[in-house]
Structure 1
């Protein structure tokens, strides 16, 4: 079905709902990662909103309406692309999303907040043949977009929406990093059966566009070397992107745990003592914890030419390696006491990072001021 036909149908749905249903100024429609899961910045705002105003109606759109393990009872769930979803969408005064929405219109008076999911993103936003952003259509209805840095502001203006208001509050999903998360970390370790490990290393590569997993690495060897180094038992978490499958070879060592289906990435960062990633914006979040992070980028040259990056990794403050030998040696030799200074350099690189632990509250207050 062509985009023109889809937009026509959506406009008719909006018109139909507008005629037969009133808009509710005390209702918020939430969706994260296009309905993938109850997670990320929208989840943090949803939970904070219920805390600040329990009378606010909260609706979530999900691909799988049976995936409700961590969803509170006060949340109403609708299936994505159902009539119920469009009814809730066009009767909610507020929308809170994190990946844009391919909707050509809103009702008069509706307000759309997008939190994005990569304020400190590496990857270029895909472009059309005429050089315009493929995400520009998904963000053209946005009234306000959350940012946490000068760098984030630039990405929003260049690739998402040059006219939307920018709310400089940081990423709500990162608020947990500024709280006492001891109990939270213990519960995450228990949920993943990691209580027997002293230290955790997480490998979380991003999606490369071809649907295959990232390079196979000998994490058993790395765990052995780390245990020799400090005499502590290391567990390895593998967090693959949701569009790729876990490599079965990684499951042969009991110290290696597949955390790909765990719903909240920030929980995994909380319990990680070291993180390996590549071009994922999660490293821009993780450095807030002042812990070691290393980029594994064996395909850096190909990635730069095919997908494109927003900055030159080799000229940035990030520690990186282009092959497994250098990666493992960098991690084994890394002095944890040097991590805070390296993390500060990375945050300074992004420019005026404004993560304070109050992003959810600020986003909610912005909404409540407009009820």
Structure 2
């Protein structure tokens, strides 16, 4: 009830005119400058900075003061100025969905970028009645959703009753444009920030969260994985961990060998700098596959995950070597065949109908201009 009352109170700001060149961004529910909103923002700054007024809202805006040097206005998510900017913006861009207490106006364009590519794990369905209402409101008020592939489009047209083909922009993920361009500065920046010597190679371990999880779901023998990677791929490896923000294991096996990257906001840069990726069910495998990074699935709780969530695309059809225990994971790493893997990845992209081609940011910008 509190949110409904706040929503009605905030309608007072409807008396203010909508600023047609105003764009307000939010990512990861106001906690980070990352993901698709970041990359759309960077594209707009590079090509339309003189035409648009760009703002971001955060829970802790002081942490993101560096954005002001780029000409971006930064506000607290629930501050009066932040709320005014949201309600008077022509465009709102978010990778989760506009906050439930925001009274969206008919003239506004709401772009939901999502925060995962490909078509893998299904969304959590055991929401509370209140949260289901929020999701329905968010989906109803969204002007356009971004899609990374045809399979994702088809699955969501069936799942979301408020969805129609006109509400989907089949652009690919803007965050993945990064992988279609040579960026020699990224690896050095990532390794410098994480304290990794430039000559060392990286294993990125990035499992997703579970609705109900224990530390056992995130345990992996770091030392054995490093040994197998060095045996197959040569060079000296380091083990980098980046957990999902809703996953909080107390410890990882082999903690002394682990480099913690949980505070590194940009997952795309971590993928770009990595030589090997290990996950369970995270959609980051879609992103990493675009540049053929060797990706390995380590799914020790697969039967339970299938029961709790399941997948849009059966995991048996993914091109990434699957292991449900450590021995198989190590064997998959040591026997990795790059030629076969690239062929499987290409087939996978074709089967899912990939829209990724490095122009997603441009396509979103062009869509926005068409709405002015």
Asked whether the two chains share a fold, i.e. TM above 0.5, the reply is yes
Paired position in structure 2 for 1:68 = 64
Paired position in structure 2 for 1:29 = 24
Once residues 346 and 240 of structure 1 are traced to their aligned partners in structure 2, the CA distance between those partners, rounded to angstroms, is: 26
Q: Is the 8 A contact 2:117 2:284 kept in 1?
A: no
Paired position in structure 2 for 1:155 = 155
Cα offset, 1:138, TM superposition: 2.1
Q: What is the aligned counterpart of 2:83 among 81, 86, 90?
A: 86
Once residues 206 and 197 of structure 1 are traced to their aligned partners in structure 2, the CA distance between those partners, rounded to angstroms, is: 28
Once residues 252 and 115 of structure 1 are traced to their aligned partners in structure 2, the CA distance between those partners, rounded to angstroms, is: 35
Q: Is the 8 A contact 1:206 1:279 kept in 2?
A: yes
Cα offset, 1:188, TM superposition: 1.6
Q: Is the 8 A contact 2:208 2:247 kept in 1?
A: no
Once residues 360 and 91 of structure 2 are traced to their aligned partners in structure 1, the CA distance between those partners, rounded to angstroms, is: 18
Query: TM-score with structure 1 length normalisation?
Result: 0.90
Cα offset, 1:35, TM superposition: 0.7
Post-superposition Cα deviations, 1:29-72, rounded to whole Å, max 9, x if no partner, equal: 10011112011100111111112211311111111212227635
- Residue 108 of structure 2 corresponds to residue 110 of structure 1: yes
* Bigger Cα displacement from structure 2, 340-349 vs 232-241: 340-349
Once residues 212 and 81 of structure 1 are traced to their aligned partners in structure 2, the CA distance between those partners, rounded to angstroms, is: 33
Q: How do residues 339-358 of structure 1 correspond to structure 2 at under 5 angstroms?
A: 339-350=341-352, 352-358=353-359
Q: Is the 8 A contact 1:122 1:309 kept in 2?
A: yes
Q: What is the aligned counterpart of 1:269 among 268, 271, 274?
A: 271
Q: Is the 8 A contact 1:201 1:234 kept in 2?
A: yes
Q: Is the 8 A contact 2:299 2:323 kept in 1?
A: yes
Q: What is the aligned counterpart of 1:319 among 315, 318, 321?
A: 321
Q: Which runs of 5+ in 2 are unaligned?
A: none
Cα offset, 1:192, TM superposition: 1.5
Once residues 201 and 168 of structure 1 are traced to their aligned partners in structure 2, the CA distance between those partners, rounded to angstroms, is: 32
* Bigger Cα displacement from structure 2, 206-215 vs 280-289: 206-215
Q: Is the 8 A contact 1:35 1:63 kept in 2?
A: yes
Cα offset, 1:260, TM superposition: 1.3
Q: Which runs of 5+ in 1 are unaligned?
A: none
Residues 244 and 346 of structure 1: CA distance in aligned 2, closer, same or farther (over 3 Å) = same
Post-superposition Cα deviations, 1:199-227, rounded to whole Å, max 9, x if no partner, equal: 21111100102364432111112212333
Post-superposition Cα deviations, 1:72-111, rounded to whole Å, max 9, x if no partner, equal: 5211111122332221110101111111122564223111
Once residues 224 and 72 of structure 2 are traced to their aligned partners in structure 1, the CA distance between those partners, rounded to angstroms, is: 45
* Bigger Cα displacement from structure 2, 152-161 vs 262-271: 152-161
Post-superposition Cα deviations, 1:180-203, rounded to whole Å, max 9, x if no partner, equal: 111222222222122254321111
Pairs aligned (count): 363
Paired position in structure 1 for 2:55 = 59
3-state DSSP of counterpart to 2:92: strand
Residues 44 and 230 of structure 1: CA distance in aligned 2, closer, same or farther (over 3 Å) = closer
Q: How do residues 160-309 of structure 1 correspond to structure 2 at under 5 angstroms?
A: 160=160, 161-163=162-164, 165-210=167-212, 212-213=214-215, 214-245=217-248, 247-250=250-253, 252-254=255-257, 256-309=258-311
Cα offset, 1:243, TM superposition: 1.7
Once residues 247 and 324 of structure 1 are traced to their aligned partners in structure 2, the CA distance between those partners, rounded to angstroms, is: 20
Q: Is the 8 A contact 1:31 1:62 kept in 2?
A: yes
Post-superposition Cα deviations, 1:151-173, rounded to whole Å, max 9, x if no partner, equal: 12123323444135211111000
Once residues 246 and 306 of structure 1 are traced to their aligned partners in structure 2, the CA distance between those partners, rounded to angstroms, is: 20
3-state DSSP of counterpart to 2:240: strand
Q: How do residues 37-52 of structure 1 correspond to structure 2 at under 5 angstroms?
A: 37-52=32-47
Residues 339 and 72 of structure 1: CA distance in aligned 2, closer, same or farther (over 3 Å) = farther
